[in-house]
Structure 1
Amino acid sequence: MKKLLYLSLISIALFSACSQSPTKEDLQQLKGYWEIKTVESQSGKKKTFSFNESVDYIFINEDLNGFRTKVKPDLEGKYTKTGTRENLKIDLQNDSIFIHYNTPQATWKESLLKLDKNSFTVKNKRGLTYTYQRFNGYLSHE
């Protein structure tokens, strides 16, 4: 009985640690190259991407302002800009983190649900949930 209680407490602690929301201190982990791995709708319909011809480059400064742009990687590890630069600002509201984007054509926001050094997940107002993984190049062994 004592072992079962101990195992239950460890399980709860691990689950809580894994499900914590991102913090302000985590946000610098967004810097870098990212590729979309999955997109899931509110109804649970899910699309998985096994290869991305273009990836997102995200830059964030200390004031939590920055930009996101699409780039096309090559096999040598170089990148060519392919998309519009989207200015971004990260907004911390209570226990939530929002990424506000703007271009000359539109403005929108996403809620940051999860973040670690290798992946992050955001949700937009249409209920689409995007999961990204860090892009390390096409020839990476990671």
Structure 2
Amino acid sequence: MAFSGEWSFPGRLPGGTVRALLGIGLLLLAFSCSGVSKADLHHLEGYWEIREVEFPDGNNKEFPASPMVDYFSMQGRSGYRKKLQPRMDGTFETSDDALPLEVLEREGLWLLRYTGEEGDWEETLVDLGPQNLALRDPAGVVYRYVRYQPLTNTIPDGTQ
């Protein structure tokens, strides 16, 4: 029997079926890996600056600079989120408003559950690392943040 270069075995699936099953498997793998693990949760603590908003229709809005910073203060899996406005001297202007939050795990996803005067809602942690944060709101809008770098009064020659 000569080798023809094609795999053949009894009960062979049509080529389109194999490709479809492979595609479904890859999609399941992509969705099951949310990009955030329990070990990543400590990265949430700190100051974050918005960089991009991705809308469900595929449109994006970029923010090369933002006048506001989101601050997350965490104690275990509970904490709060607060909006701050950086000042040139390295301090922040803020109100006393803080939005309480809790980190929850549901079906392999990590969620931020907020409780506020407007009611309760959740955002899904899509990505979280030392320098990046992405949150998806209930409408499917994804907010991408980078770790905030404080403003400095450094003059080009390196002095302050």
Question: TM-score range, shorter-chain basis?
Answer: 0.7 to 0.9
Q: Is the 8 A contact 2:67 2:85 kept in 1?
A: yes
Distance 2:45 2:153 in 1: 19
* Structure 1 gaps, min length 5: 1-15
2:143 counterpart residue number: 130
Secondary structure of 1:28 counterpart: helix
1:88 counterpart residue number: 101
1:28 to 42, 48, 51: 42
2:57 to 33, 39, 43: 43
Look up the equivalent residue of 2:56 and give its one-letter code: Q
1:56 to 46, 65, 70: 70
Q: Is the 8 A contact 1:71 1:83 kept in 2?
A: no
TM-score (normalizing by structure 1)? 0.80
TM-score (normalizing by structure 2)? 0.71
Look up the equivalent residue of 1:117 and give its one-letter code: P
Look up the equivalent residue of 1:65 and give its one-letter code: S
* Structure 2 gaps, min length 5: 1-29, 155-160
**Identical pairs, percent:** 26
Deviation at 1:91, TM superposition (A): 0.3
Q: C-alpha root-mean-square deviation of aligned residues, in Å?
A: 2.0
Which structure: larger Rg?
Answer: 2
1:99 aligned onto 2:112: yes
Distance 1:74 1:135 in 2: 13
Deviation at 1:39, TM superposition (A): 0.3
Distance 1:72 1:83 in 2: 13
Deviation at 1:95, TM superposition (A): 1.4
Deviation at 1:82, TM superposition (A): 3.7
Deviations 1:14-51 (A, max 9, x none): xx9xx762111211111101011000100111000011
Look up the equivalent residue of 1:44 and give its one-letter code: G
1:68 aligned onto 2:49: no
Distance 1:93 1:81 in 2: 33
Number of residue equivalences: 123
Look up the equivalent residue of 1:105 and give its one-letter code: E
Matches within 5 A, 1:2-21: 21=35
More deviation, 33-42/77-86: 77-86
Deviation at 1:54, TM superposition (A): 1.1
Q: Is the 8 A contact 2:104 2:112 kept in 1?
A: yes
